[in-house]
Chain A
Amino acid sequence: MAGTLLEADHINYSYSRKGPKVLDDMCMKIEEGKKTAIMGCNGAGKSTLFSVLNALYKPDKGQVLFRGKPLTYRHKDIIKMRSEVSILFQNPNDMMFKPYVEQDVAYGPENMRLPKEEVQQRVQEALFAVGMEDYAKSPIMKLSYGQRKRVTLAGVLAMRPSVIIMDEPTAGLDPQMAYEVMEIAEQMHSSGVTVIMSSHDTDLTYSWADELRVLHGGKCMYSGEPEPFYSDYESVQKAGLLLPTVFMMNRTLAGLGREELTPYPRAQSQLSLKTAQHKDVNLGALHVIKAERETDIKAIIEDYDLGGMATGVYGMSARFAVRNTAMPVDYLYNGPENCTMKCLSGQDAVLICDPMMLDKAISSAMFINEHGFGKINIDVV
């Protein structure tokens, strides 16, 4: 791996001189290119840590290292660092700067002194990515909470950062919108961005993260893969957390001798097939169409005779292609998992997928095939 990108090195921070230490000898490393989930109970110090990592707050003690170099807090360096490390705050109202949607999204790129056309193009793409392109000229005042959250996300995307820190990105969003945000996070990861996310949703982060950092009382109490942490129930409880549903069920079923503890399923479809006893039933095939923006999906569906199946979409270029061909789609959200579940029910499914995100798109089907829990024919065209 490429090594440590961002590091908190023995950091103390309090909001007032006599106040309690919100961060107390905090040490944490973020690896480049890994999907890192930051968890912890209310008041554990998550949001404060983010503000310190982004140089909004200067630590009372200790230092922040970015690409191995300590932050200097000189104006010039801070500007440069923030163009690389972006935060998406929990409350969108904290980061709205302009009255109209497209102005607000353009704010960051304009500050980076990019040429006008470049700014415009970035704004358009970012608004499309969050499904808000029809609102470009709308006043922000008129938007709902969920819509504002998407606009702020677009603002962060338009900066094209190399690290993105998302503080509770799905809080207050309905379940489908939450999956949209997770898809954007996955897209950023696929394009090489280091994504850091805090969330109280243990199920959602468990299905997403490579790495887990658990904060408690201003310290980092765990750093590593999720499973060793969740296997230590006492620590989970101390941290104010609960077990992810899939993890807990897998462990109990393993305790009953129904199945082996490992491999750990991370998604519902993975646990379902691991648990089912009849592994020889006919599963549907997963047809994956790699779609660039210009791909004519309707023609492919005709050529390969894929009409009439349940269809899902996943990733930016695939969404562009679907829009360009006015293709009707059944699963606009959580496409890979929905298509895999369709295969479990014995029916074929078509997933129109951004080529960049192919690995993630077929990960559940691969898990099932590789471990002999069933056979889903994966056919990539």
Chain B
Amino acid sequence: MSEIFRLEDVTFAHNNSTRNVLSNMSLSIEEGSRNAILGANGAGKTTFFYTLTGVYKPQSGTVYSRGEPVEYTKDGLRQLRSDVAVILQNPDEQIFCSLVEEDVAFGPLNLGLDREEVFERVAKALRDVRMTPFARRPLQQLSGGQRKRVAIAGALAMNPKIMIMDEPTAGLDPQASMEVMELAEKLHLQGVTVLISTHDIDIVYKWADTTNIIYDGKIEFSGSAEDFYNNAENVYRCGLLTPSVFNMNRDISALDGLSPAPYPRNCCEFTAKFGGSKKSGKIVCVAVEEESAVGRYEEVMKELNGTLTGVYGSDSRFALREKHIDFQFDAIDACFTEAVEGKDSVLFYDSIYTPTIKEQYEKLKSIGFDADLEMI
């Protein structure tokens, strides 16, 4: 994999301030990687994002985009920003128009795309965040959670190569948070480099392949999450906590004389490691497209009537909204957990997520659990 971004000794202070918000920060980000950006309030996460997008120009040090130093000229910045989309923590800071669809179209129109292309992107983005029925509604009538989704749609419509999400799940209810993580995974599968900053350590522990820790304006750590969490003192100093699954795995493994590795990161992996499962339940995974989903559902469920069902991905969820579904959210983990418990399930999913399901299967295998998986 190649490097998409690099910071080299970047130092930044706000006007007239003697305190460096970023001080000699260096970091390399791989193209297509799933990144968690963690740190206490005030560590410099948001400033780091503004520096990546060229909003702030560092006083010293260099930001490289695809190996080239960022040029702080109009052209240079336009180039950079057509690649990078940011979802700010507070959606009200990035709402520009009064109607939902106008607001989502704002970015793509500024890129100089033709109207048809813009229209298509807006429709798709709104559907991805389940806001299609609100397209013509004034933004001020929407709730905080809904405005957040509109902001996410606006970023999706830019078709960015790099997606930066600053606290994307803050203020959202648990199911909406799961939807956001599904979208982040989808972007990853489309080849987008995704950076998520969040205080919800449990949610990103399940998802990220690279964990980056910011402390006092520096990169304190960048690598595999467990290498950081195994140093409890350091975690504590950085104002963070260890994920609950990590803690429980560490303690039970120690008590039972097992190796903590392989590290379970979610419920199905944890229960597979410690549950003493005998025989896997069967998971039938059905990749569906939006148009054919209902037909597929009826066909499959005729034979498997009464089996537990799950959906993963916004297309499947939308298409099957009238059907009986047991697991509407976080269904990959839920169906594999059922399998660990020896129960059968059917998972209807957007076909783009095939690698995610295979990744889950392989991870369970490395823990010693051979899931009975059928992909159709």
Q: Of the 9-residue stretches A26-34, A110-118, A237-245, which lies at the interface with chain B? A: A237-245
Q: Is there contact, CB below 8 Å, between A42 and B277? A: no
- Bitwise, B250-261 to A at CB < 8 A (1) or not (0) is 011011110000
User: 1/0 per residue B315-338: CB within 8 Å of A?
Assistant: 000000000001111100000010
A218 to chain B, nearest CB (A): 13
Are the C-beta atoms of B174 and A256 separated by less than 8 Å?
no
A177-B330 in contact (CB<8A)? no
B264: nearest chain-A partner, CB-CB: A249
Q: Quick check: is B9 within 8 A (CB to CB) of the other chain?
A: no
Residues of chain B touching chain A, judged by Cβ–Cβ distance below 8 Å, are 39-42, 89, 143-146, 167, 170-178, 199, 201-202, 236, 239-241, 244-245, 247-248, 251-252, 254-257, 267, 270-271, 274-277, 326-330, 337, 340-342
B170–A202 touching, CB < 8 Å: no
Chain B residues in 8 Å Cβ range of A200: 171-174, 177
Structural contact, A178 and B199, CB atoms closer than 8 A: yes
Q: Across the interface, do B167 and A172 meet the contact criterion of CB distance under 8 Å?
A: yes
Assuming the contacts A241-B174, A242-B330, asked whether A174 and B251 have C-beta atoms less than 8 A apart, the reply is no
Segment at the B interface, from A98-106, A275-283, A354-362: A275-283
Docked-complex contact B326 and A240, CB < 8 angstroms: no
- Among A173, A253, A269, A333, the residue within 8 A (CB) of B274 is A253
Q: Which residues of A contact B330 (CB under 8 A)?
A: 242
- Asked whether, in the complex, the Cβ of B275 is within 8 Å of the Cβ of A42, the reply is no
- Chain B, Cβ-Cβ closest to A176: B239
Cβ-closest 6 pairs across A and B: A42-B145, A276-B255, A272-B251, A41-B173, A256-B275, A146-B41
- Chain A's nearest CB lies how many Å from the CB of B339? 11
B247 nearest CB neighbor, chain A only: A268
Partner of B173, one of A145, A234, A241, A278: A241
Q: Does A365 contact B (CB under 8 A)?
A: no
Check if A281 sits within 8 Å of B255, measured CB to CB. yes
- Give the interface size class of chain A: 35 or more
- A373 CB, min distance to chain B CBs, angstroms: 10
For residue A275, which residues in chain B have a CB less than 8 angstroms away from its CB?
248, 252, 274
Chain A residues, Cβ within 8 Å of B39 = 174
Shortest CB–CB separation between residue A11 and chain B, in angstroms? 20
Q: A173 near B41 (CB under 8 angstroms)?
A: yes
Within 8 A of B (CB), among A223-258: 233-234, 237, 240-242, 245-246, 248-249, 252-253, 255-258
State whether B340 touches A176 (Cβ < 8 A): no
Determine if B328 and A203 form an interchain contact, defined as CB atoms under 8 angstroms apart. no
A42 and B174 within 8 A (CB): no
- How many angstroms between the C-alpha atoms of A171 and B144 in the bound complex? 13
Contact present for B341 and A41 (CB under 8 Å): no
The total of Cβ contacts below 8 Å across the A-B interface reads 145
Cβ contact within 8 Å between B41 and A245: no
Contacts A41-B176, A42-B176, A174-B240 given: A245-B252 contact, CB under 8 Å?
A: no
A262 within 8 A of B: no
Most A CB contacts (10 A, CB to CB) among B144, B173, B257, B328 go to B173
Whole-angstrom CA separation of A173 from B326 in the bound complex: 33
Q: How far is the CA of A177 from the CA of B40 in the complex (A)?
A: 9
A144 pairs with B275, CB closer than 8 A: no
13 extra interchain contacts, Cβ-Cβ under 8 A, other than A272-B248, A272-B251?
A175-B201, A240-B174, A242-B178, A245-B244, A249-B271, A256-B271, A258-B275, A269-B251, A271-B248, A277-B256, A341-B251, A344-B251, A346-B254
B276: which A residues are within 8 A, CB to CB? Answer: 256-258
CB distance from A35 to the nearest CB of B (A): 20
Residues of A within 8 A of B342 (CB): 255-256
Contact partner of B241 (CB less than 8 A), chosen from A171, A234, A255, A334, is A334
Which partner residue on chain B sits nearest A149 by CB separation?
A: B41
C-alpha gap A234/B327 in the complex (Å): 9
B216 to chain A, nearest CB (A): 14
Given contacts A203-B202, A269-B251, contact A171 B170 (CB under 8 A): yes
A sample of 13 inter-chain contacts (CB < 8 A) reads A43-B143, A174-B40, A174-B41, A175-B201, A176-B241, A242-B174, A242-B329, A249-B271, A252-B340, A256-B277, A272-B255, A275-B252, A344-B254
A278→B175 contact, CB < 8 A: no
Residue A123 lies at the interface, judged by CB distance under 8 Å to chain B: no
Which residues does chain A contribute within 8 Å of B174, judged by CB atoms? 200, 202, 240-242
Question: How far, in angstroms, from A330 to B234 measured CA to CA in the complex?
Answer: 12
Report the bound CA distance from A240 to B245 in whole Å: 23
Interface string of A148-172 (1 = CB under 8 A from B): 0000000000000000000010011
Alpha-carbon distance between A344 and B174 when the two chains are bound, in angstroms: 31
A174 touches B239 (CB 8 A): yes
Residues in chain A near residue B240, CB distance under 8 A? 174-176
Residue from A43, A174, A248, A269 having most chain B Cβ neighbours under 10 A: A174
Q: How far is the CA of A144 from the CA of B21 in the complex (A)?
A: 14
Identify which of residues 277-332 in chain A touch chain B, using a CB-to-CB cut-off of 8 Å.
277-278, 281, 330-331
The complex places the Cα of A2 from the Cα of B199 at a distance, in Å, of 38
B172 touches A255 (CB 8 A): no
Give min CB distance, B335 to chain A, whole Å: 12
| Alpha-carbon distance between A34 and B327 when the two chains are bound, in angstroms | 32
User: How far, in whole Å, are A273 and B175 apart by their CA atoms in the complex?
Assistant: 30
Tell me the bound Cα distance from A278 to B251 in angstroms.
12
Give which listed residue, B173, B202, B255, contacts A240 with CB less than 8 A. B173
Cα distance, A305 to B256, chains bound together (Å):
30
Q: How far is the CA of A255 from the CA of B178 in the complex (A)?
A: 25
C-alpha spacing A202/B203, complex, angstroms: 12
Taking CB atoms, residues of chain A closer than 8 Å to B178 are: 242
Contact of A121 with B by CB under 8 A: no
Interchain nearest-CB distance for B321 vs A (Å) = 13
B255, A344: Cβ atoms closer than 8 Å: yes
Check A174 against B173 for contact (C-beta < 8 Å): no
Q: Contacts of B40 on A, CB cut-off 8 Å?
A: 174, 176-177
Q: Of A246, A252, A277, A331, which one neighbours B244 at CB under 8 angstroms? A: A246
